[in-house]
A and B are shown apart, each in its own frame.
Chain A
Amino acid sequence: MKAPNFAYLRATDLPGALAALDSYGTGARILAGGQSLMPALNFRLDVPEVLIDINGVAALTGIEIQGDVIRIGALTRHAELEASAVIAAEAPLLAAAVRHVAHPAIRNRGTIGGSLSLADPAAELPACMVALEAELVLASSAGSRTIGAAAFFRGLFETDRRPNEILVEVRVKRQTPNRRHGFAELSRRHGDFAVVGIACQADVADAKVAALRLVVFGSESFPRVASHAAAAAQGRVLSRALRDDIVAALLEDLDPSDNLQGGAATKRQWAQILAGRVVAQITAA
């Protein structure tokens, strides 16, 4: 189908975009990569009054190291994450995950800020942000604030972003020698929405797990750290036995939805299989 009628406003800087957001309120949508917004418009699932196009806002671009964090501008395309030497070296979980984000032509347009703001339960990047304990910076005309990823994601397509705010940047801690990651995803064909996926980051010291942040996506309504799996892993030596214990404990963390992609029981089993693979990646690293 074709998109409904709307007005279009091309922002050239952040204050201009925020001022437009103030004046149009909930009738406005931010147009970044458009790879989810445009389908929603073409399906007429959404009928906004105005699109505020932020693609020309240069302040929202770029990936750079700032001290012990990586600053990723909200307009960074998935393809830029994929090609970035900084991401490959300093946030390898993101590098592993981004290959699974849709297809090349979509990765060429889609943005990290758009993916996080939408909070699609099947999306890879929100889960990675929770696993990485990323901080998200939100701006409004009144100023900016920073929020941890775990607090930002609140439910199905629901975030802590207020209608007058734009997600402007993501701050991810740089890789350290004792940090390991694992990633696995099940989808019908490569690049499709995940049926079940797992993004996992672990701090390992002297072969013992100091922290396990395993996040299941696709089958769950929003990304959060699997607390039972984390408790099972805490302080223990990485081993085959620990892997089995984490996989068993994960069952308590899962609350999968029944839908056309599979029943809840099936998804629990898939999540456990993927968890085993992800923990094996961390153990082998």
Chain B
Amino acid sequence: MDAVTRATITLSVNGEPIAATVPVRQHLVDFLREDLGLTGSHLGCEHGVCGACTVRVDGIAVRGCLMLTVQADGRRIETIEGLSESGAIADLQAEFVARNALQCGFCTSGMLITAAALLERPRAMSRGEIREHLSGNYCRCTGYQAIVDAVASVLAGRIAAGAGDR
């Protein structure tokens, strides 16, 4: 196979099939934001530190700024828009609103997607463990108390609802 500087790819974004020709140097979040208009994934640092760009690829949370769009060929991408629409994290989002678990909100979509991984296979966790899991999404405001409260509360709710048996 020859090396290319543009590539034609097909992928699924929030359940929709997409075909596109992209420059190979473009990272995934630029594609989502600039080409598809899905601006819920944010770009803070573009070197994997802030976590604001977190998206799901084949169901797994990744840093969208550290993956090339061309590498998403054949993959299933979910962004905060898709997760919001499907209702998969509606309880978590409601809890964020109820507890005002954000200050400027720049980190929120990444926080939600990162926390969602904990909620898929809910098990009892200490606040320390929740903080450890979210540590890759810390930003600047230091206002994480309410975020940890929200995640702990939804986790407890899902465990009580027997979601762990699914």
Contact = CB atoms under 8 A, between A and B. Distances in A.
Real binding pair: yes
A178 interface: no
Given A34-B66, A105-B62, A8 B24 contact: yes
A155 interface: no
B5 A8 contact: yes
A108 B25 contact: no
Q: Looking at chain B, what size class is its interface with the partner chain? A: 35 or more
Given A3-B25, A42-B65, A103-B51, A190 B131 contact: yes
A73 to B, nearest CB: 18
B63 to A, nearest CB: 5
B146 interface: no
A43 B66 CA distance: 12
B61 A105 contact: yes
Contacts of A9: 1-4
B63 A35 contact: yes
A190 B26 CA distance: 30
Contacts of A189: 135, 138
A50 B3 contact: yes
Nearest to B133: A104
Contact of B114 (A2, A8, A55, A104): A104
Interface residues of A, number: 38
A57 to B, nearest CB: 12
A31 B68 CA distance: 10
Contacts of B24: 6-8, 51
B82 interface: no
A192 to B, nearest CB: 8
Nearest to B58: A108
A12 interface: yes
B3 A2 contact: no
Nearest to B73: A10
Contact of B136 (A7, A12, A51, A102): A102
A5 interface: yes
A5 B5 contact: yes
B60 interface: yes
B3 A103 contact: no
B80 to A, nearest CB: 14
Nearest to A8: B24
A100 to B, nearest CB: 10
Contact of B48 (A7, A24, A35, A55): A35
Contacts of A53: 71
B7 interface: yes
B67 interface: yes
Contacts of A35: 48, 63, 66
Among A16, A38, A53, the one with the most B-chain Cβ atoms within 10 Å of its Cβ is A38
A104 B117 contact: yes
B136 A6 contact: no
Among B4, B24, B137, the one with the most A-chain Cβ atoms within 10 Å of its Cβ is B24
Interface string A17-61: 000100010000001001100110111000000110101000000
B61 A4 contact: no
A105 B30 CA distance: 18
B33 interface: no
A10 B71 CA distance: 9
Contacts of A1: 46
A5 B25 CA distance: 6
B7 A105 contact: no
23 contacts: A8-B4, A11-B1, A20-B3, A34-B68, A38-B48, A38-B65, A38-B67, A39-B46, A39-B48, A43-B47, A50-B3, A103-B135, A105-B62, A106-B48, A106-B63, A108-B60, A108-B62, A109-B63, A109-B67, A190-B131, A190-B132, A190-B135, A191-B135
Given A8-B4, A9-B1, A35-B48, 10 more contacts: A3-B27, A35-B66, A38-B48, A41-B25, A79-B60, A102-B48, A105-B114, A109-B66, A190-B135, A191-B136
Closest 7 CB pairs of A and B: A103-B136, A8-B24, A39-B47, A7-B3, A9-B3, A38-B66, A190-B135
